[in-house]
């Protein structure tokens, strides 16, 4: 009903059913979009917070949460999580305020979810600025239930917050293009500066701005405005460099840049094509694309496309690929989908095809999109019954439980050998015990600078410097060879399984079985 009401804003009074309640909507044209936005925000918040703690933090999440705790000086984390790693620290700094008083693992997820909900609002504003409030409200609804955005903003990742600031920047850029007021350009630069301070990859989005103004026939930007934007953005970006310099960690960032640029690809070129459209929603992608076909594109579409194309091209070419890297595209897809729905709503051709029921067709299209999104998003927010998943797309099964067990049961000062650095991070975060990943390469060119390799595992085990070995199914499926090697050490050093965490796994026939996810072995020198 809301969907139909949303589309009928401004429609002739005779078209609506004779419900007295709907008269209000007809008399106040802003009410229906606002209602749609409210629903989007409520549903968006629900989907991002529902059972948010059902799975423990994954490796990346523990790093960001650990950094936040270290910034706050929380002694339980400072030994394991150095403050400076690869990225700027705006998100972690905000989260660190919480860690001044407490250390719940879910605080970071709630903050990330808050940024996710704020992005729904920012997307509404983008749609409203570029087109009208109806497009904004539909875009907000689409983004609220978009699995891609939901799954990323349910995790402690920088991308959710970065995309909020970037979308805010897009909003101000849209305002600048619509009203030609320089202060919007400066506000855009400020928002982009915050996006950069959240995650440095946001700088790629400037490529979209550049591409837009280069290719646009109707839009131009004055040089003094560009200079002003550059000053504002550079001034904000300076905070990243300044914090590093004042902290005496100036070289830390360099190591990561070098490593990221020259590390081996972690996915094939088809990675994004296989994962991102499905997560955005194939119906949404199709609807958004359909609205662009066979029509002359205005500057609004040009801006949206330029905003999306540049990160798509950049991250496709970059050897390191991450599921969440293309998140800035999500609000664009939502706005374009909203635009397409409104095109159908107004289209005379569609009206003639459907014998005067074009508005109903548009409503059906919107309902189809939202239904498809809702069906796809529900498994994302429900506790997973799978032991395998894409890195960055969810929590680590049984990781929190295993780490907590380690913290409660193994002596302080224990040192553990895990299969990979992911589980090592989780053990260190929840268990507060030193852990090393077997798969971390001794070659500094082939490893993340944050990770410390075990140079000679045999020697460390023989001398009793490593007292426990942790095997986990998540890492084992990613690297079976290291799994075999780790279990070889367990056998060689008379390992005894002292604890096992299991997860419920749904088999093909629908039956649920419990499968070992994490096993802790005690080894004897």
Q: Toward another protein, which CB reaches closer, 279 or 404?
A: 404
| 440 sits near another protein (criterion: CB under 8 A) | no
Q: Residue 432 interacts with another protein (CB under 8 A)?
A: no
Pairing mode, strands 415-418 and 468-472 = parallel
Q: Is 488 in the site for another protein (CB under 8 A)?
A: no
Q: Are 418 and 475 in contact (CB under 8 A)?
A: yes
- For the bound state, the minimum distance from the C-beta of residue 422 to another protein, rounded and expressed in Å, comes to 20
Q: By CB under 8 A, is residue 480 in contact with another protein?
A: no
Nearest to 288 by CA among 340, 329, 358: 340
Helix axes 107-130, 158-179, angle to 10 degrees: 20
Task: Tell me: does residue 130 bind another protein (CB under 8 A).
Answer: yes
How far is it, in rounded angstroms, from Cα 105 to Cα 401? 12
Contact range with another protein by CB under 8 A, out of 52-60, 108-116, 179-187, 200-208: 179-187
247 counts as binding another protein under rule CB under 8 A: yes
Site mask for another protein (CB under 8 A), range 214-243, x = bound: ------------------x--xx--xx-xx
Least Cα distance to 157 among 276, 49, 279, 65 occurs for 65
- By CB under 8 A, residue 339 contacts another protein: yes
The count of other CB atoms within 10 Å of the CB of residue 478 is: 16
Which residue, 25 or 128, has its beta carbon nearer to another protein? Answer: 128
334 near another protein, rule: CB under 8 A: no
Binding test (CB under 8 A) with another protein, winner from 32, 107, 150, 194: 194
Contact mark string toward another protein, 352..391, x via CB under 8 A: ----------------------------------------
- With CB under 8 A as the contact rule, the residue among 77, 124, 164, 184 that binds another protein is 184
Out of 32, 166, 173, 190, point to the residue binding another protein (CB under 8 A): 190
Q: Which tokens belong to 319?
A: 């050897």
Q: Are 64 and 156 in contact (CB under 8 A)?
A: yes
Binding to another protein by residue 522, rule CB under 8 A? Answer: yes
Write the DSSP assignment of 239-260 as a string of letters.
HHHHHHHHHT-HHHHHHHHHHH
Q: Give the chain's radius of gyration (CA, Å).
A: 25
Residues 45 to 64: which contact another protein by CB under 8 A?
none
Paired sense of beta strands 468-472 and 512-522, if any: antiparallel
15-44 residues in contact with another protein (CB under 8 A) are none
What 3-state DSSP class applies to 522? Answer: strand
d(CA 218, CA 302): 10
Q: To the nearest whole angstrom, how small is the minimum distance from the Cβ of residue 509 to another protein?
A: 41
* x/- track of binding to another protein for residues 297-326 (CB under 8 A): xx-xx-------------------------
Contact 192, 166 (CB under 8 A): yes
Q: Site for another protein (CB under 8 A): how many residues?
A: 71
């Amino acid at each position: 009903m809301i969907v139909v009401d949303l589309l009928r804003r401004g429609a002739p009074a005779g078209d609506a059913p004779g419900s007295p309640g709907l008269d209000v909507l007809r008399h106040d044209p802003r009410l229906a979009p606002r209602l749609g936005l409210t629903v989007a925000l409520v549903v968006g918040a629900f989907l991002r917070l529902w059972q948010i703690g059902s799975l423990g933090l994954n490796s990346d999440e523990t790093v960001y949460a650990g950094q936040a705790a270290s910034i706050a000086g929380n002694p339980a984390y400072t030994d394991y999580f150095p403050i400076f790693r690869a990225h700027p620290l705006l998100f972690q700094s905000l989260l660190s305020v919480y860690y001044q008083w407490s250390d719940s693992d879910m605080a970071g997820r709630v903050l990330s979810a808050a940024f996710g909900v704020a992005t729904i609002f920012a997307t509404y504003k983008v749609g409203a600025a570029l087109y009208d409030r109806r497009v904004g409200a539909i875009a907000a609804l689409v983004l609220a239930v978009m699995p891609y955005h939901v799954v990323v903003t349910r995790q402690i990742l920088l991308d959710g917050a970065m995309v909020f600031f970037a979308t805010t920047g897009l909003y101000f850029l849209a305002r600048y293009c619509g009203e030609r007021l320089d202060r919007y350009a400066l506000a855009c630069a400020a928002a982009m500066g915050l996006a950069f301070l959240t995650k440095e990859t946001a700088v790629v989005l400037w490529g979209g701005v550049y591409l837009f103004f280069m290719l646009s026939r109707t839009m131009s930007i004055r040089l003094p405005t560009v200079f002003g934007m550059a000053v504002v953005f550079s001034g904000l970006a300076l905070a990243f460099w300044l914090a590093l310099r004042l902290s005496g960690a100036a070289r830390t960032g360099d190591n990561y840049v070098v490593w990221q640029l020259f590390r081996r690809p972690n996915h094939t070129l088809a990675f994004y094509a296989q994962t991102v459209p499905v997560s955005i929603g194939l119906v949404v992608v199709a609807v958004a694309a359909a609205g662009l076909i066979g029509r002359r594109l205005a500057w609004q579409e040009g801006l949206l496309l330029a905003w999306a194309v540049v990160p798509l091209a950049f991250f496709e070419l970059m050897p390191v690929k991450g599921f969440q890297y293309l998140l800035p595209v999500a609000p664009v897809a939502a706005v374009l989908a909203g635009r397409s729905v409104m095109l159908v709503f107004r289209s005379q051709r569609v009206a003639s095809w459907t014998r005067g029921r074009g508005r109903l067709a548009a409503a059906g299209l919107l309902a189809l999109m939202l239904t498809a999104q809702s069906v796809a998003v529900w498994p994302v927010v429900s506790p997973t019954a799978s032991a395998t998943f894409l890195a960055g797309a969810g929590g680590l099964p049984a990781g929190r439980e295993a780490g907590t067990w380690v913290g409660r049961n193994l002596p302080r000062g224990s040192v553990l050998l895990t299969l990979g650095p992911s589980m090592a991070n989780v053990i260190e975060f929840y268990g507060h015990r030193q852990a090393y990943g077997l798969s971390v390469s001794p070659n500094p060119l082939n490893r993340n600078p944050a990770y410390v390799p075990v140079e000679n595992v045999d020697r460390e085990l023989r001398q009793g410097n490593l007292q426990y070995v942790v095997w986990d199914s998540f890492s084992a499926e990613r690297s079976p060879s290291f799994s075999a090697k780790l279990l070889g050490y367990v056998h060689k050093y008379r390992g005894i399984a002292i604890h096992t965490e299991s997860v419920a796994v749904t088999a093909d026939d629908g039956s649920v079985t419990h499968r070992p996810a994490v096993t802790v072995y005690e080894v004897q020198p």
